[in-house]
Amino acid sequence: MIKVIVTEQEYKKALHVFDNAEGFECIPAPPEESGLAAKIRETGAKFAIIGINKYCLDLYDAIPEGGVIARFGVGHDGVDKVLAKNRGIHCCNTPGVLDDSVAECAIGLMLSAARHLAACSAGNKAGRWNPCLGIELSGKILAVIGCGNIGKKVAKIAKYGFGMKVVGFDVAKPADSSAIDELTHDFATAVKNADFISFHIPDIPSTRDFINFDRLKMMKHSAILINTARGGILNENALYDALKSGIIAGAALDVFKTEPYSPQNPEKDLRTLDGIIMTPHIGSSTREACERMAKAALRNIELATHGKIKEMNLIIQ
């Protein structure tokens, strides 16, 4: 029986999979690093499945050489890859299994922003009958920033489902750009006429605060920004200023620099603004995606136990 420690939130998201995984004993543990490390030492487990928390030291001391840190999801900025590699720990993620869920979430946020669904619902519940005037998606221009798997799915739904024109921005040409009407390597060109801008780029040093005030000023005043990628790519203070001053019309965010959300500057709290939708990082939180992530994470661990390291979804070699 292979013992696997799973952080509590991830365990709950795919309870059926973890409880019934043949050949595995999956044990829930606190997501905080000290509690997670303590559970690993207590059980003697070599394998851990983790969420989005940042881990800096104890986890890598607790997992023995040859063990696995498996990210329940795709983004792995919470994993110290250098420390893991130095300790001989394999790190992997679950690419591809959440593409549909995140793409659908981005489209949902875009539609909600276009029709003011969140504001209308809140107003109606508070006893205010105030129908808002929205806009149609049909015929509008969507800029997709980052044309990887998720970005391409968003483009396909937007183009073939809503009849939108899609402009793609990426540093390299995607393998399949059939749903992208125009592709550019210049950000200003991509966003200058866009009604909606949806971001699908990773949070790495070169993209940190990518959405800054200068780039926000390149957008139309009527533009709506959607971010289901990573909070680190957005300068939240710059977004506050842009929304407050009317540089852009609105935003719909599912990810934040600090989660749960807390403002980077107490005087620039995004929650105080109209024209913004804020959801608690639910892009991949569908039953189907969570089950696929659990199965993929366990599959990576199973490969490790058989020495098939090269077949794992490794994030460090």
Active site positions, annotated: 230, 259, 281
CA distances from 2 to 63, 72, 89, 246 (A): 14, 18, 17, 56
Asked whether 239 and 267 are in contact (CB, 8 A), the reply is no
Q: Which among 207, 197, 199, 264 is positioned nearest to 232, based on CA atoms?
A: 207
CA 159/CA 272 separation, integer angstroms: 33
The DSSP code for 233 is G
**Distance between CA 82 and CA 55 in Å, rounded?**
12
Token look-up 């024209």 returns 275
